[in-house]
């Protein structure tokens, strides 16, 4: 099975890695064309992913659902520990560790690889123009940027294609490292350097939890690392709840879920194409993919699933509220990503009964929203990048406005993305967001705690209203009203060059049609395709939950209408960022989480480090210095004897000779 796909599968993650290394080597010499290895490798990965996807899709049509087409393609053994003389499974039973470079071929990995390679290539092409000024001069770090982007794509593709825990963790850490490098791309800016460190350290907490979760899985699954064994709950002797909780904490770090969400808004200090990559194609989607991949395990632990849903609901609502009070265009989109990721986790947490079809419905709804969100969020970020490029990197909503006629293509692209994010039919977000809320509503009918899922469902609908409100607040403030240009453009502003607008047009098409094309009852149904992922009982598409559809759509349209009334008509209402009151202050100050982290974690650690510095300097160094002074003190005792006087030396020799003769006489 999959002979052709197996041939091309290894190229998908390998090509970007090789392109990144090549760009690091030759990029500085060919600065102006240093983007070519990254772009070409992205195209190659996309073509190979398309071939793989086509073959997997054909297999799903030819095979029965009870025989899911999932294959592990092993290329070589990476490493093995333990007694090499043990045969068969003896090395594993003795606690050995074995990992192969094996890639997984199934509908989930094929879908993710296709999406990541496509969006990564489109965003990289956008960056070729974004990192040039209005005179065509390249950014000083041009080659370094495309080398790091290529490595970023390679790491994410390795993560989604990995077939064992070791390879997945390698891709996971590679994504974290590349995000640190790209967020801090303009490292000469103190704010960018701080943001990169913050992202690296906060996500590190999640990475440690993920590592511990993998260790628990390995111990309680008979020292196995491959997904075929790991994803079967019957192979576990215990520890499944703890492992799933640790995996969720790891996903919270990467996907910026409460309370490990504080790094994501600051990550906007990086170039806008980096923001688009992180929020659409890589990084934050890794956490959602992780839970989706391990859904057969999570579905067996209802308590952990409730925690997932609760944290997701808090994150979604909190991020949407904070976004209402932001004045920076990219930060609004950053908080919207947090909120939408909350929706995805909300869906995944609703699949708690492993014997019913609910886990599959939750899994497919989350992946459906991940796909549609990737397209319209990439569109929104790149549209924001086009605005910033034309406004000389000024994204403050208080300093720009009325750009609809100045940036006509960018305006329409942002409008399409905003309509998709707000869930307005027939745009992409309408189809996938309603699927998630319908799954949460269905979970309330099967849970032992129906009130909990009803509450989450209400939170989801209210968040849909807030989403439309903050999205169109940004849209109306940027593109409508009187023309307002920042001083930096000197009164001259025009549409971005074709290298920036072409990707916007491509993504706008997907923002309009992706939801309809991938809907459960369409001919390209993502749900039907993912039904062949093993480990989850498949159920056919359920009837529409018209109550949820009606309420969610009304909430979205109500948010758009309120935004138009307050900001589209220039009615002179007090802006959100200037309002007072406890809820307004919480929104403007991001619920004081940065201050809380500083008070509870950063400041105590600083005092601890200061105490250690004092102990190290005065106690430990003092002991070492004292030991170093002892030979000097001892030398001081004998120093007077070395005075350079010949008569003193003669007297000393005479005394020594006398003592020697006396000692000799006593022995005779």
pLDDT tens sequence across 55-79: 888 877 765 544 456 777 777 776 6
- Report pLDDT for 541: 65
pLDDT tens sequence across 552-572: 999 999 999 999 988 876 554
> 224 or 156, which is more confident?
156
Which burial class, exposed, middle or buried, applies to 235 when counting CB atoms under 10 A from its CB (0-12, 13-18, 19+)? Answer: middle
pLDDT tens sequence across 141-152: 899 999 999 999
577 has pLDDT over 90: no
Please report where in the chains the tokens 């086509």 appear, as a residue: 54
Within 391-427, where are the H helices? Answer: 408-421
- Contact between 355 and 384 under an 8 Å Cβ cutoff? The reply is no
Residue 98 pairs with which residues in a beta bridge?
80
452 has pLDDT over 90: yes
- Report pLDDT for 66: 45
> 278 or 481, which is more confident?
278
Confidence category of residue 87, pLDDT binned at 50, 70, 90: very low
> 129 or 542, which is more confident?
129
pLDDT tens sequence across 176-226: 999 999 999 998 889 999 999 999 999 999 999 999 999 998 888 777 788
Residue 328 pairs with which residues in a beta bridge?
396
- Report pLDDT for 62: 64
- Contact between 403 and 474 under an 8 Å Cβ cutoff? The reply is no
CA distance 107 to 534: 10
- Sign of the Cα pseudo-torsion (426, 427, 430, 433, in order): positive
Domain boundaries, the chain: 3-588, 595-667
309 has pLDDT over 90: yes
pLDDT tens sequence across 531-556: 877 777 777 666 678 899 999 999 99
91 has pLDDT over 50: no
Q: Nearest-5° angle of CA 60, CA 63, CA 64?
A: 110
CA distance 16 to 22: 10
CA distance 290 to 218: 16
- Report pLDDT for 572: 46
What predicted TM-score, i.e. pTM, was given to this entire model? 0.88
pLDDT tens sequence across 616-642: 877 777 788 777 777 777 777 777 777
- Report pLDDT for 569: 65
Name the nearest CA neighbour of 111 among 640, 641, 528: 528
User: Lowest-pLDDT range, 100-104, 124-128, 288-292, 431-435?
Assistant: 100-104
Helix (H, G, I), strand (E, B) or coil at 240: helix
Q: Nearest-5° angle of CA 654, CA 659, CA 661?
A: 95
pLDDT tens sequence across 508-520: 999 999 988 998 8
- Report pLDDT for 579: 65
In order, the DSSP letters of 477-538 are HHHSSS-B--GGGTT---PPPHHHHHHHHHHHHHHHHHHHHHSTTSTT-HHHHHTTSTTS--
Which burial class, exposed, middle or buried, applies to 193 when counting CB atoms under 10 A from its CB (0-12, 13-18, 19+)? Answer: middle
Helix (H, G, I), strand (E, B) or coil at 184: coil
> Taking each helix axis from N to C terminus, what angle separates 11-26 and 36-62, rounded to the nearest 10 degrees?
180
- Contact between 466 and 320 under an 8 Å Cβ cutoff? The reply is yes
476 has pLDDT over 50: yes
Please report where in the chains the tokens 């939750």 appear, as a residue: 362
**What is the rounded average pLDDT for all residues in the chain?**
86
- Report pLDDT for 605: 83
- Report pLDDT for 377: 95
With residue 73 as reference, give the H or E element that holds it: strand 71-81
Number of residues assigned to the chain = 668
- Contact between 340 and 366 under an 8 Å Cβ cutoff? The reply is no
With residue 638 as reference, give the H or E element that holds it: helix 621-638
Residue 104 pairs with which residues in a beta bridge?
72
Q: Please give the average per-residue pLDDT across 30-35, as a whole number.
A: 87
Report the percent of the chain where pLDDT is more than 90: 48
392 has pLDDT over 90: no
């Amino acid at each position: 099975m999959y002979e052709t796909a197996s041939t091309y599968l290894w190229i998908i993650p390998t090509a970007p890695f090789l392109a990144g290394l090549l760009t690091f080597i030759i990029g500085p010499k060919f600065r102006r064309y240093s983007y070519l290895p990254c772009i070409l490798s992205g195209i190659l990965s996309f073509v190979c992913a398309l071939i793989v996807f086509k073959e997997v899709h054909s297999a799903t049509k030819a095979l029965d659902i009870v025989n899911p087409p999932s294959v592990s393609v092993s290329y070589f053994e990476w490493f093995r520990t333990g007694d090499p003389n043990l045969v068969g499974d003896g090395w594993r039973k003795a606690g050995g560790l074995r990992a192969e470079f094996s890639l997984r071929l199934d509908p989930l990995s094929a879908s993710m690889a296709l999406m990541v390679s496509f969006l990564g290539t489109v965003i990289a092409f956008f960056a070729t123009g974004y990192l040039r000024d209005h005179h065509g001069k390249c950014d000083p770090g041009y080659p370094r940027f495309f080398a790091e982007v290529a490595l970023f794509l390679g790491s994410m593709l390795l993560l989604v294609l990995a077939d064992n825990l070791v390879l997945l963790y390698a891709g996971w850490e590679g994504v974290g490292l590349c995000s640190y490098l790209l967020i801090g791309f303009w490292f000469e800016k103190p704010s960018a350097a701080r943001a990169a460190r913050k992202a690296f350290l906060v996500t590190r907490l999640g990475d440690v939890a993920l590592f511990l979760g993998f260790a628990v899985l390995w111990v309680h699954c008979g020292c196995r690392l491959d997904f075929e064994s790991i994803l079967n709950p019957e192979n576990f002797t215990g520890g499944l709840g703890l492992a799933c909780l640790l995996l969720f904490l790891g996903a919270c770090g990467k996907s910026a879920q409460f309370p490990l969400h504080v790094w994501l808004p600051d990550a906007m200090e990086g170039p806008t194409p980096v923001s688009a990559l992180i929020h659409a194609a890589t990084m934050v989607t890794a956490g959602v993919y992780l839970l989706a991949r391990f859904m057969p395990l999570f579905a067996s632990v209802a308590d952990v699933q409730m925690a997932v849903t609760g944290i997701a609901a808090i994150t979604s609502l909190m991020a949407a509220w904070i976004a209402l009070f932001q004045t920076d265009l990219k930060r609004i989109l950053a908080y919207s990503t947090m909120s939408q990721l909350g929706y995805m986790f909300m869906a995944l947490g609703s699949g708690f009964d492993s014997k019913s079809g609910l886990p599959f419905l939750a899994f497919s709804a989350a992946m459906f929203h991940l796909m549609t969100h990737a397209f319209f969020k990439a569109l929104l970020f790149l549209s924001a990048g086009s605005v910033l490029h034309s406004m000389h990197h000024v994204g403050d909503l208080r300093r720009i406005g009325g750009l609809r006629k100045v940036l006509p293509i960018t305006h329409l692209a942002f409008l399409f993305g905003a309509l998709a994010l707000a869930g307005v039919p027939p745009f992409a977000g309408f189809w996938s967001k309603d699927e998630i809320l319908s799954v949460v509503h269905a979970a309330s009918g099967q849970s032992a705690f129906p009130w909990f899922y009803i509450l989450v469902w209400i939170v989801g609908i209210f968040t849909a209203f807030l989403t439309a409100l903050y999205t169109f607040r940004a849209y109306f403030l940027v593109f409508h009203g009187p023309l307002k240009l920042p001083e930096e453009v000197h009164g001259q502003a025009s549409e971005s060059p074709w290298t920036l607008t072409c990707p916007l047009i491509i993504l706008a098409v997907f923002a309009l049609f992706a939801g309809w094309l991938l809907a459960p009852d369409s001919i390209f149904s993502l749900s039907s395709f993912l039904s062949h992922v093993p480990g989850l009982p498949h159920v056919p598409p359920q009837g529409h939950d018209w109550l949820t559809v009606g309420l969610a759509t009304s909430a979205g349209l109500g948010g758009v209408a309120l935004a138009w009334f307050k900001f589209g008509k220039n009615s002179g209402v007090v802006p959100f960022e200037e309002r007072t009151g406890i809820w307004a202050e919480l929104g403007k100050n991001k619920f004081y989480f940065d201050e809380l982290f500083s008070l509870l974690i950063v400041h105590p650690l600083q005092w601890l480090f200061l105490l250690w510095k004092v102990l190290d300097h005065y106690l430990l160094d003092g002991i070492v210095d004292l030991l170093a002074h002892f030979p000097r003190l001892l030398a001081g005792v004998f120093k007077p004897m070395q005075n350079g006087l010949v008569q003193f030396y003669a007297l000393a020799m005479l005394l020594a000779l006398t003592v020697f003769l006396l000692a000799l006489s006593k022995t005779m």
